[in-house]
A and B are shown apart, each in its own frame.
Chain A
Amino acid sequence: MIPAGDGRLRTALHSGRFAVTAEIGPPRGADAEAIAAKAELLRDWVDAANITDNQGSHTRLASWAGSILALRSGVEPVMQLTTRDRNRIALQSDLISAGAVGIPNVMMLSGDHPTFGDHPDAMPVFDLDSVQLIWTARLMRDQGRLLSGKPVKPAPHWLIGAVENPFAPPLRFRAQRMGKKVAAGAEFIQTQFVFDLDTFGRWMGEVTDLGLEQRCGVIAGVGPIRTVRAMEFMQSKVPGIHIPDHVVRRLRGVPSDQVAAQGMALCVETIETLRETAGVAGVHVMAFGHEQVVPELLERAGIPPRTATAPTVTGRTHDAG
């Protein structure tokens, strides 16, 4: 079980209330308003919002800065931190900084390779891998030490998050890979987009067999597909997303002006199924570029605004609760 403490996401995972996270992609410009505007749309509906770290290897405003701006706008941030662009000195420095400015959640991942971004000629760093970075974060927080052994005083106290993709080969290793992240210190896991509920269900079964959901909140990734072109882009250009044939047929089977509505309906149904799936602690809504649909999506899926539920609601209790 996730220990009690400050923060809306931590409180949700601790109490077993169905958690909702979303995503705020920072702008390319020096534009604080862009974060504030997205935060405004999400504020009442999410426990926390991920501030992505140069997503897709495209240079953007930094995730630490975006996290501070989100805090100012009243949205609890999850600061993403990739191992792609920084070595262990810079990563630990950013983690200390996140603690100092009051960022309550950090989420660590290896990150997309630079070849996919706007600087394919950049040096890929990958000094640590994601498991090692999660492990480092826990060492810093729980033992108050850096990798070098030097003390960190006072130690930061963020919640530690990670990602997993249940849909990428080797499929039979994915739950165990999540297990490595949990052993290293991950307290919540956000997954890749769930379109393939069968594969997700099998993975979730393995996760519960290993008892991982007892130690780590599993937050399933969802998002509405708005156009056939967006679907094709996800299939061909975004590694690691699996859209099963029946979903493709369903979205291709309607006139183009109805694809968005169909995509929303599909996403609502997915959230409803996930809420009934044993061990799922919440959903992570990714609607990059059209955050305005998030409230409608959640409302239709029967998830009330956080203002109506927080801080102590007796909602559906997930297994780890």
Chain B
Amino acid sequence: MYLLHHLLTPGTVKRWFARFLERHERLCTAFTQAEKQVKGSAFGCRMCGQCALPATGYACPMTCPKQLRNGPCGGVLATGACEVYPDTQCVWVTAYERAEQEGRVSDLTLLQRPIDHREWGKSSWVNYWQGRDADLWTSDDGLTRTHLVLTDLRLVAGGPKA
């Protein structure tokens, strides 16, 4: 999965393609549907439009009944199951197991900012390729996007390793 991430890493071509898609509504809808199919079957993606997967061991936090993006709640059962759906494993237990296996537990310690609810149903790839997702998480503790514009987080080390 981390290899897959390499394929999606933004570049000039992908940025151009994302802009092209946004100018063509029907193509963009088809592309978004395709993303929904792929990520829906692989990760249970809910199409929040602000993908956290690269920083959460590829376990989708939006499948958590509380949609917690910064780690597990205190109600995880001793078996590792979700308190709300005891038949399923807590998404953060999965995230931790995967991250530990890949030596990427530090990803899980990044602070995930509040999401923008206007982005639901939109393509996170299109957002990602145009750099709009660059400030979803941080290793410092600056919360607002205004703050990020001022400090230019992209120059700060500590984002999820590509």
Contacts and interface: CB of A to CB of B under 8 A. Distances in A.
Interface of A: 83-84, 88, 109-110, 112-113, 115-116, 124, 126-132, 135-136, 138-139, 145, 147, 149, 163-165, 168-170, 172-173, 176-177, 179-180, 183-185, 192, 239-240, 242
Given A129-B67, A132-B112, A136-B114, 19 more contacts: A112-B75, A113-B83, A115-B84, A129-B66, A129-B70, A129-B112, A130-B68, A132-B69, A136-B143, A164-B74, A169-B80, A170-B92, A170-B93, A173-B71, A176-B105, A177-B71, A180-B70, A184-B141, A240-B74
A119 to B, nearest CB: 15
B134 interface: no
Contacts of B11: none
B80 to A, nearest CB: 4
Interface residues of B, number: 36
B101 interface: no
9 contacts: A115-B65, A126-B68, A130-B70, A136-B114, A169-B76, A169-B78, A170-B76, A170-B97, A172-B96
B77 interface: yes
Contacts of A169: 72, 76-80, 90, 93
B70 A131 contact: yes
B70 A132 contact: yes
Interface in B113-153: 113-114, 117, 141, 143-144, 146
Given A149-B146, A173-B96, A239 B77 contact: yes
Nearest to B108: A173
B83 A239 contact: yes
Given A132-B112, A170-B93, A170-B96, A145 B144 contact: yes
B69 A129 contact: yes
Contacts of B75: 112-113, 165, 168, 239-240
Nearest to A146: B144
B71 A183 contact: no
Contacts of B96: 170, 172-173
A124 B114 CA distance: 16
Nearest to A167: B78
B143 A113 contact: no
Which of B68, B93, B113, B143 counts the most chain A CB atoms within 10 A? B143
A285 to B, nearest CB: 18
A20 to B, nearest CB: 22
B150 to A, nearest CB: 11
B109 interface: yes
B76 A149 contact: no
Contact of A147 (B69, B79, B144): B144
Contacts of B69: 129, 132
B114 A132 contact: yes
B80 A135 contact: no
